Structure formats: C-alpha cells, structure tokens
Amino acid sequence: MTSAQDIGALIRDARVEQGMTQAQLAKALNTSQSAIGRIEAGHQNISIEMVNRVSHVLGRTLITTGSGLLNFEIEGGHRLHGSIETRSSKNAAVALLCASLLNRGTTTLRGIARIEEVNRLEEVLTSIGVSCVWNEDHTDLTLTPPEKLDLASMDVHAAVRTRSIVMFLGPLIHHQKSFALPYAGGCNLGTRTVEPHMQALQHLGLSVRATDGYYHCDVIPPDPGSRQFTLTERGDTVTENAIMAAARTPGTTTIRNASPNYMVQDLCAFLVKLGVPIEGIGSTTLRITGVDDINADIEYEISEDPIEAMSLLTAGIVTESQLEITRVPIEFLEIELAILDEMKLSYSLTDEYFSRNGLTRLVDLTVRPSDLIAPPDKIHPMPFPGLNIDNLPFFAVIAAMAEGTTTIFDWVYDNRAIHLLDLQKLGANIKLLDPHRIMVTGPTRWRGGGQIVCPSALRPSVCLLLAALAARGTTTLRDTYVINRGYEGLPERLNSLGAEIRTFRQ
C-alpha cells in the first residue's frame, strides 16, 4: 500500500529532478504552494485525480495502483474507553475563512480544524492572492489579504469541491462591481437551491445570473440608511452570507428569520471583535450596523463543534462503551440529549464552563452502556434551537441500537435518507418509506466483513464508520475522502480510544 508520506516523497523527488520549485509546481496545477508543501510532507490526503495531474505536469508516472483512493479497514467489536476532546467547529471555520476577506488587516484563526474543506478554501484563498500561513504545529492559520484580490486566478478545481464557496458571495460584493464564482460543490445531498442566498443578497446590492457552471454577479450598492428583509429559509449559510454582506454596507441592516445556530454566533462574535456592531446574537432577528472599512489585526478562537461531539457520543452508544467527551457545546445539543433521555440513554454532565471564545457554553459528557428503547415520536430536524440537521443521520445508528421501531424524517434534503440504507450492509433493519423518511427497527446485531463504498455525503459516511466499529468482523470502507472533509484525523483519534482502524490507499 502507498501512504500519503510515500506519495509526497515521490512528488518531491520528481519535482526536484525536474528543477521545479514548489511555487512553480503549484502554479502549473493551479493550486497553492502551501498545498504542495502539505502534499510533499505527507500531511494531506491526495486523490488519484490529483496524482494524475501532478504526473502529467512532471512528465512521469508516480504510482501505478488501480485507484489510489484513501480507505479504512475497520476491525469491529471493540469497546471504547477513556476520554476524548471535542475539536473546533468545521462549519464555523469555513465561515470565518470567508469572513477574513472583509478584513484588510491580518486574521489569525486559532484552533482551526485541519480538514479537507479547510484545505480547499485555503487553496482558493491562496489562488486569489491571500497569504495563508500555518504555525509550526498546524493549529493556527494566519491570513493576510493583498491590496487587490485576483479573482481571475481563482483555483476553480478547489472551488468546485466545496459547498462553502457560495459564502464568498457576501464578502466579494465589497471588492468588485462584477465577478464570477464557480458553482458550489462538496456533498451530494440532492437538490438544495441557492435561491435563498440570491433573494437575501439582492437587498444588499447583488444580482446574480447562473450560467455555464458559474454565478455571474453584478453589484450596485444599496442606498445609505436602514433596510430590513426576512429570509425565506432560516438557513445557516444564507444567514452568514447576509451578515457578511451587511458588515461593510453603510447603514443598519435588519435580518429577520435569521439562523441563530452555532456557526452564525461564531461569525457574529468574530465581526464584533473586528468592530462591526451586531445586535440580537443568538436570536432570529439580527441588526448589523455596517462599517465603511475593516483594517485590524485580529486573533480569534473558534468554538467547539457540536456535530463532532454528537459523532463521538454516537461512537460510545453504538459500541456500548463508557466514554468521556470533553468540551461539548451543550447549548447546541440540548434537544438531541432530550431525545436520548426519552430513549433511556445513561449519561452524565459536568457543570458548565465557557469556550475560549468567551461565548459558547461547554460541559464534559460521560456516556455509559444502556438498554435503549425507540422514542414515542418521529425524529426530525428543525432550525436551531431544534435538533441539528447535521446530527439527524446519527439517530439512524442510535435507533438501530434501540428496542422497537423509529421513524426518521429528513425533510431538508432530497436524497440524504437514501444514503442511510447502506447501514443494511452492516446488519441494520431499515426500510425506506420515501426520499425523506426511513423506519429503523432494532436492536441490531451488527455484522461486518464486507466492503462498502462511502456515499458522497459526509454524515451518512461517518454513520457507516461508526456502525462498523460495532460490527463483528472486518469491514473495509472505501473512498473516505468525504469523511476527511469534515473530520480531522478521526481514525487515529478513535484508535486512541481502543478502536482498530487501519488507513490505506489502493
């Protein structure tokens, strides 16, 4: 098997032999020098597509294996033990990377997740002229913008691999009167329109035409003074886009039906620290007083990720383990825990304390083996403070552990529930009622031993990994790039708790 370190060394040696610098190779690949540095050091997963592109540029075949995709081999049936810390929020990180474009000064994001989604945005930012520098242990990222962004040089290959690119719309209206942005990519969750973004941003001067794989954008600044509008969808990213557009638009912008979710609160706290007055943080009505210019050197600590906390909690439940999860952002898991109370989960919480951002309430949570029962009502997501949309898939795994039948209603996405049917390959009893609803009957005797290709959706793929931890036998999970989009070193961290996961490329 060829590891990331092996591939990185092959690329480095071939580049040196050709007399190319990292900067020259990055330019030829339309990516960033920092990305090449990570690849050559073996610190970044690299797809076979990228290997082939590098091979073409360097004029030599680097590897001859059939696919070169990253895979997990999971030996199931091991109970977990010990303590694990919740890492910083992926969704807050990507919003803050986009928001750094509002600041003409230097932005340092502390504790930022080292995940593929962040890597893709870093590549995009570098390609348009933003300096992106990691500290020695790769926990902090410092971003320094150029005098003028070079949007014509945007790394399109990186941009189309992330859904987060759509959040460039809000900041970029303050940079150019017209620009083009590639269509958002990332997870395949079915049709989820970006129309709410367009409707919100038109109040702040943006008009958009979608043609030929690009959003073609024109900006006419709105009249000074006050403006207010109501979001037709209380979405996280649409709220963030509107906030970023309002932050440097003169006058007061009132956004109603705004999402008060965790990543939105982090973004607001960041902008307040930059000098943007925002009222109503944590509520569904936000009032943003725009400032003409932002030019400040700032350091910001990103809050902890409630979705990762839920993932780790699910790992403890499905493996019937006693496990401590520290630094859990309790405000954003209270509904999930209320449902788990109904299902008779045994757990305990410490007293609350604050995150390093001074805003987010944290606890340490200990989960214990439990005899679960199906909840009396269906489980469905709602905008915050309801059950988080990204946490819903984990309840398919949890419901499979419970006595009785649970209905899970994923009304937000067209096709995500379908991806959860792959849990049948590990022994779950799941029936698809329609593209939005599944019925899960338990308890399940998990069984592994096969090979499963990850679906192109992050949370269902992680659900397969967690179920495989409990399944007797060895399960191979193939093409796991989508998991690395949202989780940093998840196999290694689970292994530290007693799991047996081997990563390999083939």
pLDDT digits 0-9 by tens, 172-231: 999 999 999 888 754 443 444 678 888 899 999 999 887 777 888 999 989 888 999 999
Of 194-208, 245-259, 318-332, 435-449, least confident by mean pLDDT is 194-208
Distance of CA 56 to the CA centre of its chain: 31
Whole-number Å distance between alpha carbons of 347 and 150: 52
Rounded Cα distance, 350 and 362, in Å? 9
Average pLDDT on 258-273 reads 96
Percent above pLDDT 70 for the chain: 94
Question: Which residues pair with residue 439 across a beta bridge?
Answer: 407, 431
**Read out DSSP for 117-156?**
HHHHHHHHHHHTT-EEEE-TTS-EEEEE--SS--GGG--H
Contact in structure between 66 and 504 (CB atoms under 8 Å): no
Token readout for 145 is 């913008």
Instruction: Find the DSSP H helices in 260-333.
Output: 262-273, 306-318
Predicted confidence at residue 186, as pLDDT, reads: 47
**Cis peptide, bond prior to residue 381, ω within 30 of zero:** no
Lowest mean pLDDT among 35-39, 92-96, 359-363, 472-476: 35-39
The angle at the Cα of 276, spanning 208 to 205, to the nearest 5 degrees, equals: 20
The residue count for the chain: 506
Q: Confidence class of residue 94 from pLDDT cuts 50, 70 and 90? A: very high
Burial of residue 91, with CB atoms counted within 10 A of its CB: 0-12 exposed, 13-18 middle, 19 or more buried: buried
Q: What pLDDT, on a 0 to 100 scale, did the predictor assign at position 68?
A: 66
* 13 membership: H or E segment, kind and range: helix 4-17
Q: Which two tokens stand for residue 78?
A: 């091991």
- For the entire predicted model, the pTM comes to 0.82
Which residue from 241, 154, 228 is spatially nearest to 194, judged by alpha carbons? 241
Between the two ends of the chain, the Cα-to-Cα distance in Å is 6
Work out the angle at residue 187's Cα, subtended by the Cα atoms of residues 365 and 453, and round it to the nearest 5 degrees. 85
As a whole number, the mean pLDDT across the chain is 90
pLDDT at 2: 54
The DSSP bridge pattern shows strands 346-349 and 298-301 to be unpaired
Looking at per-residue pLDDT, the higher value among 266 and 48 belongs to 266
CB count in 10 Å sphere of residue 246? 27
Cα 45 to Cα 289: distance, rounded to the nearest angstrom? 42
Tell me, what's the pLDDT at 474? 96
**Contact assessment for residue 36 and residue 25, using Cβ atoms and an 8 Å cutoff:** yes
Give the residue-averaged pLDDT of 22-48: 80
C-alpha–C-alpha distance, residues 92 and 141, integer Å: 14
Helices 116-127 & 90-99 angle (0-180, nearest 10): 10
Contact 297, 105 (CB under 8 A): yes
- 16 vs 467: which has the higher pLDDT: 467
- Per-residue model confidence (pLDDT) at position 1: 44
pLDDT at 59: 66
Lowest mean pLDDT among 79-93, 178-192, 208-222, 484-498: 178-192
Pairing verdict, β 131-134 and 83-85: unpaired
Q: Identify the helix (H) or strand (E) that includes residue 490.
A: helix 490-495
Distances in Å between the alpha carbon of 429 and those of 20, 75, 442, 443?
Answer: 55, 21, 7, 9
Is residue 119 pLDDT above 60, yes or no?
Answer: yes
* Rg of the chain (C-alpha set): 23
Comparing CA positions, the residue from 219, 218, 241, 220 lying closest to residue 229 is: 241
Q: Is the pLDDT of residue 3 over 70?
A: no
Give the pLDDT mean for 107-133: 91
Dump the DSSP string for 435-458.
Answer: TTEEEEEE----B--SEEEPPSSH
The stretch 482-492 carries a mean pLDDT of 87
**β-sheet bridge partners, residue 282:** none
SS3 track for 200-239? HHHHHCEEEEEECCEEEEEECCCCCCCEEEECCCCCHHHH
Cα pseudo-dihedral 12, 13, 14, 16, rounded to 10: 80
How confident is the model over 363-418, as pLDDT tens digits?
Answer: 999 999 999 999 999 999 998 989 999 999 999 999 999 999 999 999 888 778 88
Query: Which of 140-149, 220-229, 257-266 comes out lowest in average pLDDT?
Result: 220-229
The domains of the chain, with CATH numbers, are: 4-68 (1.10.260.40), 72-85+304-505 (3.65.10.10), 90-301 (3.65.10.10)
- In whole angstroms, what is the distance from residue 260 CA to residue 390 CA? 15
What integer pLDDT is reported at residue 189 of this predicted model?
Answer: 39
The two beta strands, 474-478 and 451-453, are parallel
**Confidence bin at 60 (pLDDT 50/70/90):** low
Whole-number pLDDT of residue 4: 72
**3 state DSSP class of 286:** strand
| Residue 362 DSSP label | E
CA distances from 408 to 32, 434, 455 (A): 42, 11, 19
* Mean pLDDT confidence for 439-464: 93
Query: What is the pLDDT at residue 158?
Result: 85
